[in-house]
Amino acid sequence: MHPFLSRQGLFPLRSRLAPTPSGLLHVGNGVNCVLTWLVVRHHGGSLRLRIDDVDCARSRPAYVEDIFRQLDWLGLDWDEGPQGPGEFFTRFSQRLKRERYLALRDELVRRELLYCCTCSRRHIRDQVNDGLYPGTCRGRRTPPAEAHAWRVRLPQDSRIRVGAQEVDVSRAMGDFVVWRRDGLPAYQLASLADDIDDRITLVVRGEDLLPSTAAQLLLAAQLEERGFLAAEFLHHPLLSCPQGNKLSKSHGALSLAAMRISGAGPAVVYRETARLLGLPPECGDSLTDLQAAAFPPRVCAPVPESCLCAGTS
C-alpha cells in the first residue's frame, strides 16, 4: 500500500469532495476526487459532496452541473450532500450559509484576532514584490465598514505543524484575508466553517494547499476547535502540463468534458491516479482494478505445524 493511502487518524472517518465551480473539472480535479474516494471507501468512512461556490463572481450553474456529470462519469458515489444541481442550489449552496460565516468572523473579531484593511490589490502590488501583505493597516484603528476587508492579525510565531511538515504562515501567506471587500467570506474561513460543521476528520488536498491547511489550523487553534485540530490532512503531488505548469482551470487545463467528447474514457483519470501512487498505468484500466492495486489483500503466512494443536479423539 502506498504510504499516502495508509492512515492513523480519527475514526469514524469523515471526508469530503470539495470541488469549486469556477471552471470545468480537469484531470487534476478528477485525480483528487478519486484519491479521496479510494481512501474513504477502503477505510469504511463516510464521504460528503460539498461544492465550494462561495465566490459568486467565478461560480457558474454550468460548472455545478459539470461537477455532477463528471463524478458520475468517474463512477464515484458519496453518502451525504446533494444528489443533483437542483438540490444543491436549494439546500447546500455556500451562499445559503452567509450567517454562519458572518458569526464565525464576528467571533474572531471579538477575540481581537482580525483587523480591517482598506488596501486595494493594486496598492499591495505597488508595495511588495512577493504578493504578501505588507501590514499597512495592521496598526491602524480603521472603523469597520462593509467596503473593508478583514485580515488575520498573525502572532509573532505563526509556525504550524501539518503532519510531518512545518509551515510558517507569516512567510507563506502573511496576514491573510478571511472576509473580502465585496462582503463575501474568503476561502480560508468558509472552508474551515464547513469542515467544522460537517465534522470532517480527513481532508485530501493538493500540496499547493499546504499553506491554506496551516492557515485554517491556526484559526482553529485560536477558536479552540479541537475536532478540526485533530483531523488528518493528506497533501498529494500535483499533476503538471507538458510546459511544466501545474494543471489548473486558470491555465486552461483540458477539461474532463472535452476529453469525454473526444472519446476518452475515465481510465485516463484512473491511470493518472495510479501513476501518482507509484503503480503501473495498467492498474488504472478501471476503478475496480485501481482499488485492488491500491489496497492489495493481505496474505497471511501459513501457520507452522508446530503451532497447531493436535486434535483429540
pLDDT tens digits along 199-242: 999 999 999 999 999 999 999 999 999 999 999 999 999 986 55
Q: Would the pLDDT of 165 be above 50?
A: yes
Fold type of domain 1-85+239-313: Rossmann fold (3.40.50)
* Dihedral in degrees, nearest 10, Cα atoms 271, 276, 278, 283: -20
| Reported pTM | 0.88
pLDDT tens for 116-143 read 999 888 877 777 767 788 888 988 877 7
Residues contacting residue 162 through CB under 8 Å, at least 6 positions apart: 210, 213, 214, 217, 233, 235
Max intra-chain CA distance, the chain? 91
Indicate if the pLDDT at residue 272 is higher than 80. yes
Whether the per-residue pLDDT at 249 is higher than 70: the answer is no
The pLDDT, as a whole number, for residue 144 is: 72
The rounded percent of the chain whose pLDDT value lies above 70 is 86
Q: How far is CA 199 from the centre of its chain?
A: 14
pLDDT band at 49 (very low <50, low <70, confident <90, very high): very high
Q: With a cut of 70, say whether residue 261 has pLDDT above it.
A: yes
Distance CA 262, CA 256 (A): 10
CA distance 213 to 203: 9
Q: Which ranges in the chain are annotated with CATH 3.40.50.620?
A: 1-85+239-313, 93-227
Query: CATH code for 93-227?
Result: 3.40.50.620
Place of cell 470541488: 19
For residue 76, pLDDT beyond 50: yes
